[in-house]
Amino acid sequence: MPKNMLKKMPKKSSSAAKSRRAGPPRLPALDLHHLTHEQHALVEAIKSGPRGRFIMEGPFAVYLHAPGYGLLAQQLGAHLRFGTSLPPRLSEVAILCTGQFWKAQYEWMAHAAIAEKQGVKPAAIRDIQAGRAPKSAPADEKAIFALVKELYATRRVSDATYKRVQKLIGDAGMVELVGILGYYVMVSMMLNVFRMPLPEGKAPPFREPGNR
């Protein structure tokens, strides 16, 4: 190949580097000292709920831009995280599976730490992050992983997979599990669409699929 043609060829490394960046946030940052009445009500609802605090990051920073919607969304999220019949350990496995599927950077960063505190083994967390079945995990975590994986891949759940999990968590637990998945899919989409950044100093747990 002639030398002059080599100079005109694009550098692959530059393109690959760009695909790792999500781009700048798409919503303007808000000042907690200059909120509307509705926005302030949302902040206070989150602080007074089971979370106990408000952080101007992640999905809550998105919700502030539509506080009426955000108030309802955070109420559902609080119930699904703190008020269901599922053991928190299993809820966190479901959330991690969702974050991994959507490559939701902030969601994974936040819930990987919570999952470990709730008893999910670090090896299982690493497997889920890589999209692998957590081989060293307890049977109930494996069952949750298999159901979520099948649902996201096929948009259906087989009788065998359903019955395996239903025996572990019951009918109410199944409804709540699907609710948890749906809520955190919504959170993942919020985080991805609006390019919500990670806290300063935190590395993205996933490679960005590329800018659109």
Asked whether the beta carbons of 118 and 135 are under 8 A apart, the reply is no
pLDDT band at 212 (very low <50, low <70, confident <90, very high): low
The Cα–Cα gap between 141 and 172 comes to 18
Residue 19, pLDDT > 80, answer no
Q: Do 136 and 157 fall within a single domain?
A: yes
pLDDT in tens, 168-186: 999 999 999 999 999 999 9
The Cα–Cα gap between 43 and 60 comes to 9
Give pLDDT, residue 22.
76
Number of domains forming the structure of the chain: 2
Q: Do 99 and 175 fall within a single domain?
A: yes
Q: Do 161 and 99 fall within a single domain?
A: yes
In a domain, 64, yes or no: yes
In a domain, 3, yes or no: no
pLDDT in tens, 96-153: 999 999 999 999 999 999 999 999 999 999 999 999 999 999 999 999 999 999 999 9
Domain that holds residue 66: 37-82
- Mean per-residue pLDDT for 60-75? 98
Considering the entire predicted model, what is its pTM?
Answer: 0.89
- Residue spans of alpha helices (H) in the chain: 3-8, 12-19, 37-48, 58-63, 67-82, 88-102, 105-117, 122-129, 139-154, 159-193
The Cα–Cα gap between 187 and 58 comes to 9
- We report the CATH number of the domain holding residue 140 as 1.20.1290.10
